[in-house]
């Protein structure tokens, strides 16, 4: 079926607005056909994930658009990139890789993108508004923007994001439309103790469990604590978007499109109703322990997605509870964040404590893009469901998920120490 294009869409497509616009619009229109959309619609913000990965193809694509005069038409932020722009030499000795990564970053900023280099863009610059139509990449950011902020985005895959930013147009379909945001499965949390609900790890483990259960369905969760913080919802969504394809969830009484379960289902019936009990949660918790208690620990990773100021505070408080407040020899502690959070941390006196602990802060990037995990590392610990999900395959390490407190105590002991929550 042919896509109904506006006059302006047609001008972009036939090259009257330049070659970058032509290529971007051609990709947007072909994707509209893939999605089965009838027409395009406006977006007023974008977040680019295509800048994260360093590949020759990605570099060629970005430089081709930039050289053809590509400029973003809407405010556009950048996801983390392939390296820490100010301090890449610490991990990267391949000058050619670094030079290409810097070129790729320059192509995107030349096109007018804001150099935020953050995978938690909802905690920084240009946070979208409720109901705002946006084109975002990065699975955790998409999940958060849709669910917690109530902005509207589909899962913009790498390179469609910049095409949407250049044209300010996207296929009119999916989660941009009210009727497609209706909840599909009702998941009721039943029998959870207050103690378990208060655990920090409750959220990433629940996200892993629900992502595995629902796949690409829209879950409506009943019984999630209404005092859940932004960081806890971020950890939940990142895990759910990794283990499944969750791009939107509703938490009754907590997220903006779910004042009630009825509202979240738009007054329709759920396709399925499933009770989630503590034993289901503990099964997911066990599933996220890829290594036995007491195993020798090589590396701790915190900041997947990027650490917020509040998460830095929780880490410093955990460090203050251990003696000695220093990671054991042989244990690397990698903290991942963005420049904006780091700028706030630099206004505190935490830096000395973090340094003394042996924690190394890296900004703008993450362990999946910059080789900051040493090659002989076998066991990794993290508080992130996303990191725990992807690390075994991408980095060949065994992973144990634990709370920040578990991670800090384990780093000091040099061994994996997971406290059973609840």
Partner 1 sequence: MSATDGMTRKRRTMQGRAVVAGSASGEAVVSAQPISLWGGLDAKTGEVIDRRHDCSGRIVTGRVFVFPWGKGSSTGSAILLESIRLGTAPAAIVNCATDPIAALGSIIADELYNRPVPIVVLGEEDFRSIRDKDRLTITPDGTVTVEKPPLRTPPS
Quote the least distance from Cβ 395 to partner 1, whole Å.
Answer: 10
- How far CA 46 is from CA of 22, 262, 264, in Å, comes to 19, 31, 26
The nearer residue to partner 1, 97 or 390, going by C-beta atoms, is 390
DSSP 149: I
For helices 309-319 and 404-413, what crossing angle results, to 10°? 40
Provide, rounded to whole angstroms, the least separation between the CB of residue 61 and partner 1: 6
Q: Binding marks (x or -) toward partner 1, 14..33, rule CB under 8 A?
A: ---------x--xx--xx--
From CA 45, how far away is CA 355, in angstroms rounded? 37
Binder of partner 1 out of 11, 35, 282, 309 (CB under 8 A)? 35
Site for partner 1 in 128-157 (CB under 8 A): 137-139, 142, 154-157
Judged by CB, which is closer to partner 1: 200, or 364? 364
Q: Coil, helix or strand for 359?
A: strand
* Contact set for partner 1, span 153-172 (CB under 8 A): 154-161
x/- mask, partner 1, residues 72-111, rule CB under 8 A, reads: ----------------------------------------
Task: Kindly tell me the burial class for residue 96, based on how many C-beta atoms sit within 10 Å of its own C-beta (0-12, 13-18, 19 or more).
Answer: exposed
- Using CB under 8 A as the binding criterion, the count of chain residues that bind partner 1 stands at 43
- By CB under 8 A, is residue 380 in contact with partner 1? no
d(CA 87, CA 59): 21
Residues 6+ positions from 34 with CB-CB distance below 8 Å: none
299-328 residues in contact with partner 1 (CB under 8 A) are none
Q: How far is CA 46 from the centre of its chain?
A: 15
* Closest CB 322 distance from partner 1, rounded Å: 32
378 contacts partner 1 (rule: CB under 8 A): no
DSSP strand E in 73-161: where? 76-78, 135-136
Tokens of 57: 């193809």
216 binds partner 1 (CB under 8 A): yes
CB of 407 to partner 1, least distance (A): 22
Answer whether 147's CB lies under 8 Å from 110's CB.
no
Please give the Cα distance from 265 to 246 (Å, whole number): 16
Name the residues that contact partner 1, by CB under 8 A: 23, 26-27, 30-31, 34-36, 49-50, 52-53, 55-58, 60-61, 64, 137-139, 142, 154-161, 215-216, 241-242, 244-245, 368, 389-390, 392-394
């Amino acid at each position: 079926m042919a896509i109904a294009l506006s006059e302006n869409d047609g001008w972009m497509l036939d090259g009257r607005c330049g070659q970058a616009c032509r290529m971007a619009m051609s990709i947007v229109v072909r994707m509209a056909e893939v999605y089965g959309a009838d027409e395009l619609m406006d977006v007023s913000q974008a977040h680019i994930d295509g800048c994260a990965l360093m590949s020759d193809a990605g570099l060629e694509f970005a430089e081709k658009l930039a050289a053809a005069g590509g400029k973003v038409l809407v405010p556009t932020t950048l996801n983390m990139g392939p390296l820490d722009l100010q301090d890449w030499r610490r991990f990267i000795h391949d000058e050619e890789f670094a030079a290409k990564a810097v070129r790729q970053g320059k192509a995107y900023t030349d096109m007018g993108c804001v150099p935020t280099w953050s995978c938690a863009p909802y905690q920084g610059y240009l946070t979208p508004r409720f109901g705002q139509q946006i084109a975002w990449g990065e699975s955790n950011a998409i999940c958060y923007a849709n669910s917690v902020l109530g902005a509207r985005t589909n899962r913009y895959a790498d390179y469609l994001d910049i095409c949407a930013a250049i044209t300010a147009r996207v296929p009119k379909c999916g989660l941009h439309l009210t009727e497609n945001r209706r909840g599909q499965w009702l998941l009721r949390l039943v029998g959870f103790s207050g103690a378990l609900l208060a655990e920090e790890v409750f959220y990433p483990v629940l996200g892993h469990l629900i992502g595995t259960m629902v796949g690409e369905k829209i879950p409506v969760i009943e019984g999630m604590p209404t005092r859940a913080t932004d960081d806890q919802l971020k950890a939940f969504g990142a895990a759910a978007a990794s283990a499944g394809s969750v791009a939107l969830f509703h938490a009754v009484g907590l997220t903006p499109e779910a004042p009630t379960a009825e509202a979240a289902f738009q007054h329709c019936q759920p396709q399925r109703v499933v009770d989630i009990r503590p034993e289901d949660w503990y099964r997911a918790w066990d599933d996220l322990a890829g290594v036995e208690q007491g195993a020798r620990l090589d590396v701790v990773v915190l900041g997947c997605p990027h650490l917020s100021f509040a998460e830095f505070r929780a880490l410093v408080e955990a460090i203050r509870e251990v003696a000695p407040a220093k990671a054991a020899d042989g244990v690397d502690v990698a903290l991942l964040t963005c420049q904006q959070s780091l700028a706030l941390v630099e206004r505190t006196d935490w830096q000395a404590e973090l340094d003394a602990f042996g924690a190394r802060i890296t900004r703008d990037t993450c362990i999946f893009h910059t080789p900051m995990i040493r090659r002989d590392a076998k066991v990794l610990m993290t508080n992130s469901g996303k990191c725990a999900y992807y690390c075994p395959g991408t980095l060949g390490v065994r992973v144990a998920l634990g709370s920040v407190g578990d991670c800090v105590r384990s780093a000091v002991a040099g061994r994996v120490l997971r406290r059973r929550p609840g």
